[in-house]
Amino acid sequence: MELSGKVAIITGVSKGIGRATAEALLAKGAVVAGWGRTAPEGLANERFQFFECDIRDEVSVKEAYTNTLRELGPAVHVLVNNAGIGNFGPIDGFSSEDWHAMFDTNVHGLFYCTRAVLPEMKKQQEGHIINVASLAGTAGTAKLAGYCATKYAVRGFSDALFKEVRPDGVRVTCVMPGSVETNFNGAEPGQEPDPHKMQPEDIAAAIVHALEAPQPVMISELQMRPTQPK
């Protein structure tokens, strides 16, 4: 897809992979609607607009989509389902609230956003949905069982969805990064980039690569790992 002038929605846009993806798409000439509970600080671009949205809330998603169409036009070409949270710990010490919070964001919110954009994408016979999962969707890890469960769900959803919507000209890509240096799980990125982790910009570049693939090509899954992990 040629990204210049195309409208892209990115969830979880305030920091990390979401923000890096917004900046990468803006650099390609796209018009970006950033959805999130908090706006990204200092992201000033005439082609960027922030829409307050809690993707865990079905009504909030519908309102954000309606507002996006009103402000940016009737066509949305790209959806990047990036918003996600991870709560770690042993299952027998895990709170139901933490469990539900992950599923409400990582799975249910992703479904609400996808369902919102699909009718128009199918009508225009063009669109690309990027679901940011994780390598935690490919193998279980102790004390990450809940998070792994959500990312397995995202991977399964993506695999089924691409088969469902490919006749309509809509592409679906599941991006599965390993260790990325972000605020994930309460961690603060260091002043100097960690050479043993990928950077948010690396994941954003892979997303752009998938989006820019020629229309007959669909990159259905992308697994990404640090070259030299610790």
pLDDT by residue, tens only, the chain of 230 residues: 999 999 999 999 999 999 999 999 999 999 999 999 999 999 999 999 999 999 999 999 999 999 999 999 999 999 999 999 999 999 999 999 999 999 999 999 999 999 999 999 999 999 999 999 999 999 999 999 999 999 999 999 999 999 999 999 999 999 999 988 776 655 555 567 788 899 999 999 999 999 999 999 999 999 999 999 88
Catalytic residue among 65, 112, 147, 152: 147
Contact 175, 201 (CB under 8 A): no
- pTM, two decimals, is 0.95
* Collapsed DSSP state (helix, strand, coil) of residue 66: helix
65 has catalytic annotation:
no
Delimit the domains of the chain by residue range.
7-186+197-224
Strands across the sheet with 127-132, in order?
A: 48-52, 31-36, 7-11, 78-81, 127-132, 170-177, 221-224
Does the structural domain 7-186+197-224 have CATH classification 3.90.180.10? no
* Residue written as token pair 């070409």: 77
List all residues 6 or more positions away from 173 whose beta carbon is below 8 Å from its beta carbon: 128, 129, 130, 131, 158, 162, 207, 210, 218, 219, 220, 221, 222
